[in-house]
Amino acid sequence: MAEKEIIERIDSEYKYGFTTDIETETIGRGLNEEVIRIISAKKEEPEWMLERRLKAFRHWQTMKLPEWAHLDIPEIDFQDIIYYAAPKQRKKLNSMDEVDPELKRTFDKLGIPLEEQMALAGVAVDAVMDSVSVKTTFRETLAEKGIIFCSISEAIKEYPELVKKYLGTVVPHTDNFYAALNAAVFSDGSFCYIPKGVRCPMELSTYFRINAEGTGQFERTLLVADEGSYVSYLEGCTAPRRDENQLHAAVVEIIVEKDAEVKYSTVQNWYPGDKEGKGGIYNFVTKRGLCRENARLSWTQVETGSAITWKYPSCVLLGDNSVGEFYSVAMTNNFQQADTGTKMIHIGRNTRSRIVSKGISAGKSQNAYRGLVRVAKGADNARNYSQCDSLLIGDKCGAHTFPEIDSHNPTAVLEHEATTSKISEEQLFYCNQRGLSTEDAVGLIVNGYAREVLAKLPMEFAVEAQKLLALSLEGSVG
Amino acid sequence: MLSVKNLHASVGDKEILRGINLEVKAGEVHAIMGPNGSGKSTLASVLAGNDKFAVTEGEVSFLGQNLLDMSIEDRARMGLFLGFQYPVEIPGVTMANFMKVAVNEQRKFRGEEPLTAGEFLRMMRDRSAVVELDSKLTGRAVNEGFSGGEKKKNEIFQMAMLDPKLAILDETDSGLDIDALRIVATGVTKLHTEHNATVVITHYQRLLDYIVPDYVHVLYKGQIIYSGDKTLALKLEKEGYDWLINQHKE
Amino acid sequence: MRLLDYIDNSQASCGSATSMADAKVWQPAEVVMNPEQLERAVAEGGELSILVVHSKSDSAKMNFNVGQHGSLRLVEVFLGDSFVECNINQQADSECDIVMIQVAGAIADYTINLDGGHADNRLRAAYVVGDEERCRVSLRVNHNVADCTSDSLVKGVAGGKAVGEFNGMVYVAQDAQRTDARQTNRNVEIGPDAKIITKPQLEIYADDVKCSHGATVGQMDGDAIMYMRQRGLSEQQARRMQLEGFVADVISVNGEIGEALKEELVAKLEKL
């Protein structure tokens, strides 16, 4: 199979590219203190929250866009974005029957198991559509265990003490440009609290979806796993297909208290733009978790979407014996650009971290891994192992690796390895000879290449991720 | 020379040696045989002082001193040599430099003057003849890029350099072809005198064709369950360990 | 013999070029001390072997152009806190072999351009820093055309309050197919206040390439220490010997000069 042919068929259609025709309520374009007051008022927030937002906004105005990433970012006019859009349906919902049927159809098309089958799947979903949480499920089951799983807006109203205690402690509004913007204008997101010693009985899941035209999605997630607790959290993202670019600047904060464990899995499938690179989501995300003594935080991500991805889920290993993990598959096709990776900050003693990053570049895309492993002075016996592999499909794409190791402690043992490979014609020929189509062969090879990461995902998610990889690659190989 | 009494040792929670008793006198050759996982290599490591293993019970005296109290290097300087089953590669450290320090440390321990460069080189040349070691190898880094056979020859070369009182050879025959086996075994035999002793740990009788043992011990589940003379090895070669193990169970 | 003694002794014999092919005893055809500016061109099919020593606290710019089928062997030694930028451009079928050591808080900034097919570059470097020294090795290898090979190994030891930094980049241009590039950085920190920073980077725009890089901090083989102690070395001796071996390993030149370079590294290690 000629390589040329392999490349020519890069022609994947975005399966999730439909829009939902329901009325949305928006405010005008642009951002100023007045807009922030409106957002806060519409969400019926307490005064302290508004103050926090304004403080973040004022700080944001002093900040500059980060330019260090290996990304070619077109100029973004932050005054040409609508900062708030909510489905115009404000009354509280008591059952699934009350959900707008059109909206339900959207979720059905997305394949979210929102109804009965969810019980079987054991998934509780907090679906976020254009900024307002429409429906949360299984809340009662969770409530029995004392688990709080709701939208962040509700949490601000109902659990102000928890929110005040934790919000902004891992990602302060001063952290970076997009985190500041998010702190000022975040519309909704999820809040999750697992009490001491509780093992969450099901996978918690949120599904983010950007719907309205010209809106930015700024969701905010706060996840607190109290001492000795455990939770596995899934986040899926899709967005409809539009010609213009949409901005997504989310913040995820995780606090993993002593002896607790959190698994956070993401399958990101925002609209990547078309074959010519038109449209698509700009995805600037700050995700970070703080681990106390003996805590464990594991990030797993499968990134196939967005025109631009800027994202570094990180672990601050503050407590002794804490463990951070990062498993990532990032795939780019056509004109997509990704600059993604992680930071492992070792502060406590005997802290361990592991990084496995698998980049796949096809078409004319650029895919970069960027990572930092830092061992602070007192972090005796820190251990890190990083493995960063790149797979190139075609000769018009780029695969880059930008790791940094920063060690201030002689007892640290840190190891980084990276390799680059391509799908060889011999491999394809071999598969073809055994009767596989080239497309199947590529799917097989790519999934094999990413297997180590996919294996870290919960079962239902892993299957979806595998399909997504195949779908995003569709036609990228002849 | 070596007296091991009721030696117990474990790694983590797992007890591997469960009461070993062994007496080795000057001039003797002992062979330790036994099925896989019986604790043969652990015994060698514990006697050499590898701190991966914890001694939980028992006594070991070597040349009248309490061996278990000594550091790895002091045991070595007193004349205990361990031929490693898997000799370690040490990048960038040349054999010559390594051996020079090792020999002179031993001399210092005995209160002798260090060798001059000339004396040392002569010694290297003489001793490398014992195992027909290619002189080029002594100019290379320790074990780095050596073939399996070269590594084993190199162990015996080092043994010749250090002239130990007690040599424990841990599966020195594994991975050797017939010629290399002959060279290694002949080397060991040449070095054997009435003043030193050799303990060979092996799976196969074939090594014992060259290095004829005075005693053969069978180690099973961390204990010596049977001892005999050289004919035992031949019997084991023919009949395996089952009869002994069954007898032991009864 | 220390390096400067070697240079004093060998001034007389200098100029009688020894061929690179004569691997047994390497002698540079040219010895340059503390250049501010250095330009050398290796003619088509020609050879140059050169020893450059920076013993002062100054800065230098060096340019080497290696013509087709030409070969360059550069041995560069930093005894002082110099800042040196070194550009090497290699034409088709050329080869370049660099050995570099830093025993001071110096900065060496290499840019290697592989501009012609089948050019081959090999670099072996080591730094040892102590006290409050800060040293940096920057190495950018540009594979600008197809079919070139590069292999770089940089080792570092930092003691005292020193900072050792490696900044590596392998760049593979879009048409540079069949590139084979390797870059490795290994470091050891001694003492609680030393610091290592390493950034081994890859920027790849061609798909048919073999590129790998690796970086480690603080990984010495514990089994090797155990092995050496079994032969009678004290733990401290074993560690020292292992460390000497670790850095001396990069010195691929033989003869007196190789010994002199090792001496420099060992002498510096003793001061840590």
Can you give chain C as a three-state secondary structure string? CCHHHHHHHHCCCCCCCCCCCCCCCCCCCEEEECCCEEEEEECCCCEEEEEEEECCCCEEEEEEEECCCCEEEEEEEECCCCEEEEEEEECCCCEEEEEEEECCCCEEEEEEEECCCCCEEEEEEEEEECCCCEEEEEEEEEECCCCCEEEEEEEEEECCCCEEEEEEEEEECCCCCCCEEEEEEEEEECCCCCEEEEEEEEEECCCCCEEEEEEEECCCCHHHHHHHHHCCCCHHHHHHHHHHHHHHCCCCCCHHHHHHHHHHHHHHHHHC
d(C-alpha C252, C-alpha A78), whole Å: 57
- Interchain CB contact of B164 with C (< 8 Å): no
Residue C230 pLDDT greater than 50, yes or no: yes
Using alpha carbons, select from A3, A57, A14 the residue that is nearest to residue A472. A14
CB contact under 8 A, B88 and C226: yes
* Per-residue confidence band for C6, with pLDDT thresholds at 50, 70 and 90: confident
Q: Are A152 and A186 in contact (CB under 8 A)?
A: yes
What pLDDT, on the 0 to 100 scale, is given for residue A343? Answer: 94
pLDDT tens figures, A39-95: 888 888 889 989 899 999 899 988 888 888 888 888 888 887 777 766 554 444 445
- b/e map A238-271, b = 16+ CB within 10 Å: bbbbbeebbbbbbbbbbbbbbbbbbbbbbbbbbb
Q: Which residues pair with A317 in a beta bridge?
A: A291, A346
Q: How many pairs of residues across A and C have Cβ atoms under 8 Å apart?
A: 114
- Rounded mean pLDDT of chain A? 80
Q: List CB contacts of C165: < 8 A, sequence separation 6 or more.
A: C134, C135, C136, C137, C196, C197, C198
CB contact under 8 A, A409 and C219: no
Q: How many pairs of residues across B and C have Cβ atoms under 8 Å apart?
A: 78
In this complex, which of C223, C233, C245 lies closest to B105 when CB atoms are compared? C233
CB contact under 8 A, C207 and A410: no
Could you tell me the residue range of the domain that residue B163 belongs to?
A: 2-249
CB contact under 8 A, B77 and C228: no
CB contact under 8 A, C201 and A406: no
d(C-alpha C89, C-alpha C67), whole Å: 8
What pLDDT, on the 0 to 100 scale, is given for residue B130? Answer: 82
d(C-alpha B201, C-alpha A279), whole Å: 72
Residue window 219-258, chain C: list those with CB within 8 Å of chain B.
Answer: 221, 223-224, 226-235, 237, 241-242, 244-249
On chain A, the residues whose CB falls within 8 A of the CB of C192 are 377, 409-410
* Per-residue confidence band for B5, with pLDDT thresholds at 50, 70 and 90: very high
Amino acid present at B79? G
Rounded to an integer, the average pLDDT of C200-224 is 89
Q: Are C149 and C116 in contact (CB under 8 A)?
A: no
CB contact under 8 A, A403 and C209: no
Q: List CB contacts of B223: < 8 A, sequence separation 6 or more.
A: B18, B19, B20
Q: Are C84 and C62 in contact (CB under 8 A)?
A: yes
* Per-residue confidence band for A351, with pLDDT thresholds at 50, 70 and 90: very high
Q: Are C190 and B34 in contact (CB under 8 A)?
A: no
Using alpha carbons, select from C54, C30, C26, C27 the residue that is nearest to residue C264. C54
Pairing of strands A24-26, A85-87: antiparallel
In this complex, which of C195, C199, C219 lies closest to A403 when CB atoms are compared? C199
On chain C, the residues whose CB falls within 8 A of the CB of B71 are 229, 235
Query: Touch between chain C and chain B (3+ CB pairs, < 8 Å)?
Result: yes
Residue B122 pLDDT greater than 60, yes or no: yes
Query: Touch between chain A and chain C (3+ CB pairs, < 8 Å)?
Result: yes
CB contact under 8 A, B91 and C249: yes
In this complex, which of A395, A406, A412 lies closest to C206 when CB atoms are compared? A395
Q: Which residues pair with A221 in a beta bridge?
A: A252
Number of helices followed by number of strands (H, E) in chain A: 12, 23
Q: List CB contacts of A332: < 8 A, sequence separation 6 or more.
A: A272, A338, A359, A360, A361, A362, A363, A365, A366, A367, A397
Please report, rounded to a whole number, the percentage of residues in chain A having pLDDT higher than 70.
Answer: 77
Lowest mean pLDDT among A125-134, A437-446, B15-24, C39-48: A125-134
- Tokens 């498993």 -> residue: A327
Please report, rounded to a whole number, the percentage of residues in chain C having pLDDT higher than 90.
Answer: 74
Chain A interface disruption, residue of C161, C189, C207, most A CBs within 10 A: C207
CATH of the domain at B158: 3.40.50.300
Q: Which residues of C touch A (CB under 8 A)?
A: 174-175, 177, 187-219
Mean pLDDT is highest, among A166-170, B106-110, B171-175, C65-69, for C65-69
Q: Are C111 and C86 in contact (CB under 8 A)?
A: yes
d(C-alpha A337, C-alpha A311), whole Å: 12
What pLDDT, on the 0 to 100 scale, is given for residue A277? Answer: 78
Lowest mean pLDDT among A458-467, B155-164, C21-30, C177-186: C21-30
- Interchain CB contact of B145 with C (< 8 Å): no
- Rounded mean pLDDT of chain C? 90
Q: Are A286 and A252 in contact (CB under 8 A)?
A: yes
In this complex, which of A406, A409, A415 lies closest to C219 when CB atoms are compared? A415
Q: Are A152 and A34 in contact (CB under 8 A)?
A: no
In this complex, which of C197, C203, C212 lies closest to A400 when CB atoms are compared? C203
In this complex, which of C234, C242, C247 lies closest to B90 when CB atoms are compared? C242
- Interchain CB contact of C151 with B (< 8 Å): no
CB contact under 8 A, C194 and A377: no
Lowest mean pLDDT among A231-245, A332-346, B185-199, C8-22: C8-22
d(C-alpha B14, C-alpha C59), whole Å: 61
Residue A263 sits at φ, ψ, to 5 deg, of -115, 125
C178: left (phi over 0), alpha (psi -120 to 50) or beta: left
Rounded to an integer, the average pLDDT of A450-476 is 77
On chain B, the residues whose CB falls within 8 A of the CB of C233 are 73, 98, 101-102, 105
Give whole-number Cα distances, C234 to A2, B72, B104, in Å: 61, 9, 12
d(C-alpha A264, C-alpha A284), whole Å: 18
B161 CA: distance to closest CA in chain C (Å): 10
Mark out the alpha helices in B16-131 (DSSP H runs): 40-48, 72-78, 95-109, 117-130
CB contact under 8 A, C200 and A418: yes
- Interchain CB contact of A411 with C (< 8 Å): yes
Q: Are A231 and A223 in contact (CB under 8 A)?
A: yes
CB contact under 8 A, C234 and B105: yes
- Interchain CB contact of A385 with C (< 8 Å): no
- Interchain CB contact of A236 with C (< 8 Å): no
Residue A121 pLDDT greater than 60, yes or no: no
d(C-alpha A321, C-alpha A291), whole Å: 10
What pLDDT, on the 0 to 100 scale, is given for residue A5? Answer: 45
More confident: C20 or A298: A298
Residue window 60-79, chain A: list those with CB within 8 Å of chain C.
Answer: 70
What pLDDT, on the 0 to 100 scale, is given for residue A122? Answer: 43
In this complex, which of C233, C242, C246 lies closest to B102 when CB atoms are compared? C233
Give whole-number Cα distances, C99 to A291, B113, C34, C51, C262, in Å: 44, 38, 17, 10, 12
- Interchain CB contact of B73 with C (< 8 Å): yes
d(C-alpha C185, C-alpha A415), whole Å: 10
d(C-alpha B92, C-alpha C186), whole Å: 14
Using alpha carbons, select from A272, A227, A276 the residue that is nearest to residue A248. A272
CB contact under 8 A, C246 and B92: yes
Q: Which residues pair with C100 in a beta bridge?
A: C76, C125
- Which residue in B has a C-alpha nearest to residue C220's C-alpha? B90
Q: Are A354 and A342 in contact (CB under 8 A)?
A: no
What pLDDT, on the 0 to 100 scale, is given for residue B201? Answer: 94
Using alpha carbons, select from C236, C160, C149, C145 the residue that is nearest to residue C191. C160
Q: List CB contacts of A304: < 8 A, sequence separation 6 or more.
A: A267, A268, A269, A272, A331, A468, A469, A471, A472
What pLDDT, on the 0 to 100 scale, is given for residue A478? Answer: 46
- Interchain CB contact of B67 with C (< 8 Å): no
* Per-residue confidence band for A353, with pLDDT thresholds at 50, 70 and 90: very high
Angle between helix axes C255-271 and C235-248 (nearest 10 degrees) is 130
Total domains, chain B: 1
CB contact under 8 A, A418 and C216: no
What pLDDT, on the 0 to 100 scale, is given for residue A104? Answer: 59
Q: Which residues pair with B23 in a beta bridge?
A: B3
Q: List CB contacts of A211: < 8 A, sequence separation 6 or more.
A: A19, A20, A24, A85, A106, A129, A130, A239, A240
On chain C, the residues whose CB falls within 8 A of the CB of B85 are none
d(C-alpha A151, C-alpha A192), whole Å: 8
- Interchain CB contact of B88 with C (< 8 Å): yes
Give whole-number Cα distances, A437 to A364, A441, A442, in Å: 24, 6, 9
Query: Touch between chain B and chain A (3+ CB pairs, < 8 Å)?
Result: no
CB contact under 8 A, B98 and C237: no
| Residues A457, A461, A467, A472, CA torsion sign | negative
- b/e map A49-62, b = 16+ CB within 10 Å: bbebbebbbebbee
d(C-alpha A350, C-alpha A291), whole Å: 13
CB contact under 8 A, A413 and C207: no
In this complex, which of C223, C234, C248 lies closest to B88 when CB atoms are compared? C223
Chain C interface disruption, residue of B41, B53, B73, most C CBs within 10 A: B73
Rounded to an integer, the average pLDDT of B45-71 is 92
In three-state secondary structure terms, A354 is strand
Residue A389 pLDDT greater than 60, yes or no: yes
CB contact under 8 A, B50 and C226: yes
- Which residue in A has a C-alpha nearest to residue C221's C-alpha? A413
On chain B, the residues whose CB falls within 8 A of the CB of C186 are none
Q: Are A234 and A203 in contact (CB under 8 A)?
A: yes
Structure tokens at A353: 């971290």
In this complex, which of A394, A401, A414 lies closest to C217 when CB atoms are compared? A414
CA diameter of chain B: 61
CB contact under 8 A, C247 and B48: no
